[in-house]
Amino acid sequence: MLLTTAALAGALAMLPLADPAPHAISLEAIGTIRLGPFMSEAAEIVVHDAASQRLFVVNGHTNAIDILSIADPTTPERIGSIDLRPFGGAVNSVDTHSGLVATAINGFERTDPGRMVLFDTDGRFVSLVQVGAMPDMVIFTPDGRRILTADEGEPSHDYAIDPEGTVSIIDLPEDPRRLGQHHVRTADFRRFNDADLDPSIRVFGPGATVAQDFEPEYITVTPDSSTAYVTLQENNAIAVVDIGSATVTGLIPLGFKDHSLPGNGFDASDRNPRIRIRPWPVFGMYQPDTIKGYTAADGLFYLVTADEGDTRNYAGFSEIARVRDLPLCPEAFPNAHDLQAPENLGRLQVTTTLGRNEDGLFERLYAFGTRGFSIRTPDGTIVFESGDEFERITAERAPEAFNTDSQPDAPSKNRSDNRGPEPEALAIGQVGDRIYAFIGLERTGGIMIYDITVPAESVFVDYWTNRVMPAGSGSEEAGDLGPECLLFIPAEHSPTGGALLVSANEISSTVTIHRIVPRTKE
């Protein structure tokens, strides 16, 4: 459904124009390579080796790591590929450090233990070890001494098997070829099985213990390589891991975003032809995917999260319902009839696992994700939250793609009822004396740029997109679709001598290299 000119004009008349920050930058795409067919997940995660000026890209289409030369970033070239089919069911993640390439691979059965397999930057096998089930992310510690995997442990589709989620910590020997299973330590969540958890931390899988229910998603590590912060996306929490002892030392509850407050609104319906960003009586679960840590101008360490949201939707268990289908408590929602109309909240997807009272009526509504990003102190205190800015900015700058799915021929607003733009990818980098966050919107497409030098005063800088609407299915003219991963390359490691941003886009199967350029205030 494309917005009519009249409807669009009426919607945008209510939206204030977003001014760029005083220290503004923008992106300029200088090189692109397509690694597979449209919608084949041929470009998912991307990392950079400065010594060889190579990118290593997870190619889910071929179950391989593609090796790209960016010696000339205007013409990236695929120079090799690491076939991972002999090692497991699917490759999920890759990282590189000091001439080594670490990969995280599922077991041949997704609920079986996975593997971390090491290669050198020419793609030659070095060693491997077993890790937990479904290792969804792999990362070297900054000092290069250890490798960590976030072992998500998703259940089988019938929920008959539900592996424990864990974090594997691999201590690299001086000679990585001698890496063995005795170098692997496991941080698990069993100590929390009988703990009294914060109510905003969700444990809701059928018959699951806490250790089974927690699903580690993404990891960031402190600059001193001592502590890891791990997102538990479905559980709406972050785990704190002491790397030295391989122990989960704490859980950070993330709470909920009150969408009824001014500035926290969103567009709730895929059936209303107008863009209508407004407050609603709904709470958003932060449920971050990507997490990055950084040291701000004040010298303190902060956590930045892309608050995408996620659901459990399996043959054996699903938590998803639409507001129209829920019995709403009349005291909490005296206007339930109007709220449940399809043009209002009726189509919105929410969880059935929260908000129900003893009579079976819903007193609160909890939606998946918060349609923005946030910055927190290491104890979880929010110092910045982007509110409704992502939707307001995309409505203003790319209205035909507003809350649109990442498929080339998707109609406008077809994701308004379900997590909206879906911020997922995240990179942080310093340009000059300013620190910027780059946030990729998985559904709408494009990249948000924020100046986060002073966390509490973070401000929107620019929104870059090359998406073309409408575009037929499989059209190469559609632009970059489905940014899954963003990679910042600082000037000192760049082949050009200037900072670069790389995006891996799983729907268009493209890897695009951007030059970071100054932007004057319009």
> Residue 462's domain is classified under what CATH number?
2.130.10.10
Residue 220 lies in a domain: yes
Whether pLDDT at 17 is above 50: no
Answer yes or no: are the C-beta atoms of 217 and 230 closer than 8 Å. yes
Residue 12 lies in a domain: no
pLDDT score recorded for residue 8? 35
Q: What is d(CA 124, CA 65) in angstroms, rounded to the nearest whole number? A: 12
pLDDT score recorded for residue 350? 98
Q: Which residues contact 485 (CB under 8 A, 6 or more apart)?
A: 44, 45, 46, 425, 440, 503, 504
pTM over 0.75: yes
Whether pLDDT at 376 is above 90: yes
User: Per mean pLDDT, which range of 9-13, 339-343, 466-470, 518-522 is the poorest?
Assistant: 9-13
pLDDT score recorded for residue 185? 98
Closest CA to 132 of 227, 19, 216: 216
Whether pLDDT at 403 is above 50: yes
Q: Say how many domains are in the chain.
A: 1
**Average confidence score pLDDT of the chain:** 94
Q: What is d(CA 76, CA 479) in angstroms, rounded to the nearest whole number? A: 17
Whether pLDDT at 522 is above 60: no
Q: Which two tokens stand for residue 114?
A: 């996975």
Whether pLDDT at 262 is above 70: yes
- The per-residue pLDDT for range 413-425, each reduced to its tens digit, is 999 999 999 999 9
Model confidence band, residue 412 (pLDDT cutoffs 50, 70, 90): confident
The reply to whether omega before 470 is within 30° of 0 (cis) is: yes
Whether pLDDT at 399 is above 80: yes
pLDDT score recorded for residue 471? 76
Q: Which two tokens stand for residue 363?
A: 């007193």
Residue 9 lies in a domain: no
Residue 185 lies in a domain: yes
Three-class SS state of 126: strand
> What average pLDDT does this structure show over 301-313?
98
Whether pLDDT at 310 is above 50: yes
Answer yes or no: are the C-beta atoms of 459 and 35 closer than 8 Å. no
Residue 5 lies in a domain: no
- The per-residue pLDDT for range 183-214, each reduced to its tens digit, is 999 999 999 999 999 999 999 999 999 999 99
> What average pLDDT does this structure show over 384-402?
97
> What average pLDDT does this structure show over 234-249?
98
pLDDT score recorded for residue 71? 98
Match 């941003």 to its residue by tokens.
501
Closest CA to 105 of 82, 87, 83, 128: 87
> What average pLDDT does this structure show over 148-163?
98
Q: How many CB atoms lie within 10 A of CB 261?
A: 11
Environment class of 134 (CB within 10 Å of its CB; exposed 0-12, middle 13-18, buried 19+): buried
Model confidence band, residue 75 (pLDDT cutoffs 50, 70, 90): very high
Residue 375 lies in a domain: yes
Residue 15 lies in a domain: no
pLDDT score recorded for residue 179? 98
- The per-residue pLDDT for range 459-509, each reduced to its tens digit, is 999 999 999 988 766 677 899 999 999 999 999 999 999 999 999 999 999
Residue percentage of the chain with pLDDT more than 70: 94
The parent domain of residue 507 ranges over: 21-518
Residue 176 lies in a domain: yes
Q: Which two tokens stand for residue 136?
A: 């969804």
Residue percentage of the chain with pLDDT more than 90: 91
